[in-house]
Amino acid sequence: MRYLISLLTYNEIENLPIITKEIFEVAPDVDILVVDDNSPDGTSDWAAEQMQTEPRLKLIKRASKQGLGTATLAAMNYAIENEYDYLINLDADISHPPRYIPELRKKAEEGVDVVIGSRYTKGGKIEGWSLIRRLMSKAINFYARTILGLKTKDNSGSFRCYKTDKLKTLDHKKIVSKGYAFLEEVLYRLKKQKATFAEVPITFVERKYGKSKINKKEAITALCNILYIRIM
């Protein structure tokens, strides 16, 4: 089975070298695709230089910051065009420990279309979040589950393994979310395509280096998008 691991990056220069090394340690047979939005900190320069000696590393460099949703779509298209069997996405900030990759793969190869590395299934944990951040994340998940009718517990995290054949059934023109709501929207659209889902517990660790890219405006846009997806 051919696996593509995607890492979406915007200013992740401290994290990218560490996470790529950790991924290749637990999964030496995969390729890693970095989708970088012209990070001012030179994240893509690091990737471009590494690629000269590391053929498993691939790079899509986009002209400007265009959002997590469109970056994920770029990775999905790359996986389809280059005939990978599965696409696994992790946040590049090392919040999603690569040691769980083998468990996601195992579950996927049992025949599940979408395997979620989940903070909210039994055994899942979060390290380094304040009470308020936990409550906000829980509230967003409750909101998305209620509005979109999702049965899965962690719908706002991006640590997932998708079967590429299932991704081919998505109509990209229908996807409205450019930013963070993409995570919920893609589950909703895959559910409509009769995809099967499973959750594998993970311990999420808040980033040590760099800054989160979500801000108030992005968060509000995401909430509005979720509602819009349901009523349109």
Segment lying near ligand GDP (by CB under 6 A), choices 62-70, 79-87, 99-107, 162-170: 62-70
Query: Do residues 11 and 38 lie in contact, with contact meaning Cβ atoms separated by under 8 Å?
Result: no
Q: Tell me whether strands 114-118 and 125-127 are parallel, antiparallel or unpaired.
A: unpaired
Strands 31-36 and 3-9: parallel
Q: Is 71 in the site for ligand GDP (CB under 6 A)?
A: yes
Q: Closest residue to ligand GDP, Cβ-based?
A: 212
Residues 6+ apart with CB under 8 A from 18: 94
Q: How far apart are CB 214 and ligand GDP at their closest, in Å?
A: 5
Q: Does 154 bind Mg ion (CB under 5 A)?
A: no
CB 217 within 8 A of CB 179: no
- Which of 26, 48, 50, 65 touches ligand GDP (CB under 6 A)? 65
- Whole-number Cα distances in Å, 111 to 26, 161, 196: 21, 12, 8
Residue 95 or residue 152: which is nearer to ligand GDP going by CB? 95
**Residue 160 site contact among Mg ion, ligand GDP, none (CB < 5 to 8 Å, cut-off depends on kind):** none
Strands 31-36 and 125-127 turn out to be unpaired
Q: How far apart, in whole angstroms, are the C-alpha atoms of residue 159 and residue 201?
A: 11
Residue 225 CA to residue 229 CA, distance in Å, equals 6
Site string for ligand GDP, 7-26 (x = CB under 6 A): -xxx-x--------------
Residue 85, Cα to own-chain centre: how many angstroms? 17
Q: Is the Cβ of residue 48 or residue 85 nearer to ligand GDP in the bound state?
A: 48
Q: Which of residues 28-57 bind ligand GDP (CB under 6 A)?
A: 35-37
Sign of CA dihedral 20, 21, 24, 26: negative
Answer yes or no whether residue 93 interacts with ligand GDP by CB under 6 A: yes
From 15, 70, 95, 137, residue interacting with Mg ion (rule: CB under 5 A): 95
Q: Please, what is the minimum distance in Å from the beta carbon of residue 195 to ligand GDP?
A: 23
Q: Which of 5, 23, 47, 68 binds ligand GDP (CB under 6 A)?
A: 68
Q: Which of 93, 113, 154, 185 binds Mg ion (CB under 5 A)?
A: 93
- Pair type for strands 114-118 and 160-163: antiparallel
Enumerate binding residues for Mg ion (CB under 5 A): 91, 93, 95
Enumerate binding residues for ligand GDP (CB under 6 A): 8-10, 12, 35-37, 65-68, 71, 91-93, 95, 207, 212-214
